[in-house]
Amino acid sequence: MNPREIMDAYNLNPKKSLGQNFMHDPNTIEKIVTTAELMPEDTVVEIGPGTGELTARLAQYARHVMAIEVDERLESLLAERFADTTNVYFVFQDVLKTNILSLVGNKDFVVVANVPYYITTAIIQHLLEQPQRPKRIVMTMQYEVAERICAQPGDMTILSNSVQYYGKPTIVSKLNPAVFWPRPNINSAILKIDVYDEPIVSVPDDKLFFRVVKAGFSQKRKQVKNALSGGLQVKSKVAKEYLDAANIDSQRRAETLTLEEWARLTHAVAELQG
């Protein structure tokens, strides 16, 4: 049965408010599973299993699948569909309120998620800012968001810096709306993030690093010196001192800075602030 037939059998309608566009194309499901590069001993955390199409394939490749679904209407459907599958566990709650590490213990894990577009970035943040991060994330998301995450210096944003600090993002493929039921009116992409063991640049303190990056982007299309001065609430002369110490031209704009340069700037701020 495909997702539409399963939902009909349980007398359920997809909820737009939960971004319920179910994937019914077997080739796309296969592509997601291959991209996850699962090993037989892997634990997979699936976010938003829906009617369980992808879950069923993941269960064939991984040791355990922990699936987190917010829609409790799907509970009996999923329980019956997976009654004979011993390695899938469902948790019915909001992923953003879920302590994922308590579900996986100390084990390495891979995240696979086809989730609503409006919480994509919140979910990525939730996953990457934990003390123990997944080794890989495979997510279906709005194509433009995937492009923004993979941006290069010249087009960088807070989002691309935050993701690329923790891992290497790659757009694996562009998806036609027809692979979903109901069809969304946007294009999607499968994005893979290979998460590093340690962030790619070394900084004195993660929190300070993100404060500096956010400050640098706090005023759109302004020189980084002015944005930094406003965002860190220091005089423009002090902001210039930070930039000079990091060997960064103070007239540049935040979107042109590399992660290496943000890291140097964070070191300079830490040293000069004492």
- How far apart are alpha carbons 201 and 134 in whole angstroms? 18
Q: Does 28 bind ligand SAM (CB under 6 A)?
A: no
Under rule CB under 6 A, residue 21 binds ligand SAM: yes
Q: How far is CA 18 from the centre of its chain?
A: 17
Per-residue DSSP letter, 119: G
Count of residues engaged in binding ligand SAM, rule: CB under 6 A: 24
**x/- map, 192-231, ligand SAM, by CB under 6 A:** ----------------------------------------
Task: Please provide the size of the chain in residues.
Answer: 274
Residue 129, C-beta contacts closer than 8 angstroms, at least 6 positions apart: none
Is 139 one of the binding residues for ligand SAM (CB under 6 A)?
no
For ligand SAM, the binding residues in 73-92 under the rule CB under 6 A are none
> Which x/- pattern over 94-133 shows residues binding ligand SAM (rule: CB under 6 A)?
xxx-----------------xxx--x--------------
Which region, judged by CB under 6 A, interacts with ligand SAM, from 56-64, 93-101, 199-207, 249-257?
93-101
Helices in the chain by DSSP H: which ranges?
3-9, 26-35, 53-61, 75-81, 100-104, 120-128, 143-149, 158-166, 206-216, 224-232, 236-245, 259-273
Say whether residue 145 binds ligand SAM (CB under 6 A). no
Question: Shortest distance, CB of residue 194 to ligand SAM, whole angstroms?
Answer: 21
Beta carbon of residue 143, minimum distance to ligand SAM (angstroms, whole number): 15
Q: Is 146 in the site for ligand SAM (CB under 6 A)?
A: no
* Contact between residue 160 and residue 219 where contact means Cβ atoms under 8 Å apart: no
Give yes or no for residue 50 binding ligand SAM (CB under 6 A). yes
User: Cβ 258 to ligand SAM, closest distance in Å?
Assistant: 33
d(CA 2, CA 5): 5
69 interacts with ligand SAM by CB under 6 A: yes
C-alpha dist (Å) from residue 51 to 13, 21, 54, 79, 112: 11, 10, 9, 10, 15
Nearest residue to ligand SAM on Cβ basis: 48
Which segment (56-64, 68-76, 197-205, 217-225) binds ligand SAM by CB under 6 A? Answer: 68-76
* Site for ligand SAM contains 71 (CB under 6 A): yes
* Dihedral angle of Cα 73, 145, 111, 152, to the nearest 10 degrees: -170
Interaction of residue 20 with ligand SAM, rule CB under 6 A: yes
Give me the sign of the Cα torsion angle 133, 134, 137, 142. negative
3-class SS at 88?
Answer: strand
Helix (H, G, I), strand (E, B) or coil at 20: coil
6 binds ligand SAM (CB under 6 A): no
Binding region for ligand SAM (CB under 6 A): 3, 18-23, 47-50, 53-54, 68-71, 94-96, 114-116, 119
